[in-house]
């Protein structure tokens, strides 16, 4: 088993800590119904998660096509999605091992942060409803700073707040977006296999380690 010496750990939210896909898909399909558009299969919407709400909504409207929908349609869709998601987001539950793993890490006096591309208006209620908010000294959402993952600005911000150099920090995530952010920032990247990587398997050559769940993480830290 790989061993890492770190002072700070940062955790992605959707697909790493919380199983948010069911509620996101429900809200997205409610949005499509409101716009008189066909609903989408759960697996398809799940594959759109990971690059923020804007990209998710855009993909629900135009699929995997690399063009943007009509701005008026996009605006209506965004309003509808956010309204529906606000009504069900707190139903999302932590993945197996999350509570146990975070508890063990907290007991070791490690600095813990949550870093997500999800807007703050959804991030805070999710963490509070799930009881995970008590574990994190810092929470950085998708709209906390001018840019978000895969840009490294969120990671640099957290390391600066913790007074920790990036080489002594680790990001735990579930997607290529997390991997790219960690590489750009210069921190360790460890992934879980159960998340939302646009329906693709994680490229293990691009990561420092993979864990089955968060309970395996404490044993990897020196």
Q: Residue 112: in which H helix or E strand, if any?
A: strand 111-115
Please check whether residue 206 is in contact with residue 195, taking contact to mean a CB–CB distance below 8 angstroms: no
Give the integer Cα–Cα distance in Å for 48 and 62.
Answer: 11
Give the integer Cα–Cα distance in Å for 77 and 81.
Answer: 6
For residue 178, what are the CA distances in angstroms to 37, 91, 181? Answer: 31, 24, 5
Contacts of 67 (CB under 8 A, 6+ apart): none
For residue 203, what are the CA distances in angstroms to 132, 175, 180? Answer: 28, 9, 12
Q: Out of 12, 14, 174, 178, which one is annotated catalytic?
A: 12
Torsion of CA 162, 165, 170, 176, to 10 degrees: 110
- At which residue do the structure tokens 């703050």 appear? 120
Asked if 203 is an active-site residue, the reply is no
Catalytic residues: 12
């Amino acid at each position: 088993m790989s061993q890492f010496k770190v002072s700070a750990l940062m955790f992605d939210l959707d697909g790493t800590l919380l199983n948010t896909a069911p509620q996101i898909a429900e809200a997205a399909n409610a949005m499509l119904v409101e716009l008189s558009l066909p609903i989408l299969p759960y697996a398809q919407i799940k594959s759109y998660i990971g690059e923020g709400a804007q990209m998710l909504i855009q993909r629900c409207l135009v699929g995997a096509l690399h063009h943007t929908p009509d701005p008026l349609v996009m605006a209506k869709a965004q309003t509808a999605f956010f309204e529906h998601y606000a009504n069900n987001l707190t139903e999302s539950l932590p993945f197996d091992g999350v509570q146990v793993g975070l508890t063990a890490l907290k007991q070791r006096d490690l600095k813990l942060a949550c870093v997500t591309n999800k807007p703050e208006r959804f991030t805070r209620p999710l963490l509070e409803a799930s009881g995970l908010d008590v574990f994190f000294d810092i929470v950085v959402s998708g709209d906390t700073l001018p840019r978000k993952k895969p840009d490294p600005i969120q990671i640099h911000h957290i390391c600066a707040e913790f007074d920790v150099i990036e080489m002594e920090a680790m990001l735990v995530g579930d997607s290529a977006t997390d991997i790219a952010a960690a590489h750009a920032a210069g921190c360790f990247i460890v992934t879980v296999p159960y998340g939302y990587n646009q329906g693709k398997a994680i490229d293990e050559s691009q990561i420092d380690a993979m864990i089955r769940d968060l309970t395996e993480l404490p044993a990897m830290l020196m």
